[in-house]
Structure 1
Amino acid sequence: MVDSTNVDPFDQMPIIHIENDIDYHYLVEKALRLASIRNPVRFFTNGQQALAYLQTTNEVPLVILCDIIMPGMDGFELRDRIDADPVLRLKAIPFVYFSTWSTKELVEKAYQGTIQGYHLKGERFADLQAELLLIVAYWKRCLHLRSFQ
């Protein structure tokens, strides 16, 4: 999908990154830029901030990358609140858990909700970059409701 100025509209859609560790915000931003991913990134340190943004913005994000364990509203509660909001649900924003670790119990709990993936950030910067590139490339190519707007 390319417009008349040869700019892919999916490159204009923000990536939402929800993570309470501020250092990861910097690493994610750096990894995306080094991978030539031009999307704007909206950073939030907790679920409450992200939910408030999602409920008030006119932007339709490309994808939500959300940590699970965070103070206040964790990733599970955020996902449930998005699912319960009819307006947000219809925006069909892909929701991907993006965490530093996993257990069988966490993954099982994650897939009890409506999610589109559970990815590990990896132990090295190159792993983080590879995961981000994979996730973003997939959602830019995947057909979804926003493809017809």
Structure 2
Amino acid sequence: MDKGGTIIIIEDDEDDRFVLEEAFKELGFPNQRRYFSDGLSALEYLYESTDRPFIILSDINLPKLNGLELRKKLHTDAELNLRCIPYIFFTTALNHQAVIDAYSSSAQGFFVKPGAFQEVKDTVRVIIEYWKSCAAPNNF
């Protein structure tokens, strides 16, 4: 985890991407953001890039490779797992099984997307500030 690194956002809904970007702009976090509309393109980017992302915010319901499948691949791939990238689900897919599946895949968080912009902004602030305060094995 590189606290100044890129924030990876995997979201297939264009309106949700717009809202998230507006929230990040208003919050003023300096991290670059990269958006992916499916899990497969995000995985390919992570394999091909030497980027050390700060965090991954991922929807669950995604085309090609859903968020749970992507998380499992990142967790079981030794090279990607060593990057210590926090994987946070940020989704509307709230049901008991989704939460169980998320934490069973060693996700570091599960947040439900609020409907109001201010609540989205508040949730993003909490997530980013928390992880900026955390220590990780590879940021010493």
What range describes the TM-score normalised by the shorter chain of this pair? over 0.9
Q: Secondary structure at the match of 1:146?
A: coil
Give how far 1:102 is off.
0.4
Q: Secondary structure at the match of 2:139?
A: helix
* CA distance in 1: counterparts of 2:97 and 2:117, whole angstroms: 26
| 1:41 matched to 2:33 | yes
Q: Which amino acid aligns with 2:133?
A: R
Q: Which amino acid aligns with 2:12?
A: N
Give how far 1:101 is off.
3.5
Q: Which amino acid aligns with 1:16?
A: I
In the superposition, the TM-score normalised over structure 1's length comes to: 0.89
Matches within 5 A, 1:1-149: 10=3, 12-148=4-140
Note if contact 2:60-2:89 (Cα within 8 Å) is conserved in structure 1.
yes
Give how far 1:26 is off.
1.4
* CA distance in 2: counterparts of 1:66 and 1:125, whole angstroms: 18
How many residues end up aligned between the 2 structures?
139
**Max radius of gyration: which structure?**
1
List alignment gaps of at least 5 residues for structure 2.
Answer: none
Percent of residue pairs bearing the same amino acid type: 33
* CA distance in 1: counterparts of 2:93 and 2:115, whole angstroms: 10
Give how far 1:109 is off.
1.2
Runs of 4+ in 1 over 3 A off after TM superposition: none
* CA distance in 1: counterparts of 2:113 and 2:61, whole angstroms: 14
In the superposition, the TM-score normalised over structure 2's length comes to: 0.95
Give how far 1:146 is off.
3.0
* CA distance in 2: counterparts of 1:73 and 1:85, whole angstroms: 16
Q: With CA pairs under 8 Å and 6+ residues apart, which has the higher RCO, 1 or 2?
A: 2
Note if contact 2:11-2:37 (Cα within 8 Å) is conserved in structure 1.
yes
The Cα RMSD (Å) is: 1.1
* CA distance in 2: counterparts of 1:49 and 1:101, whole angstroms: 21
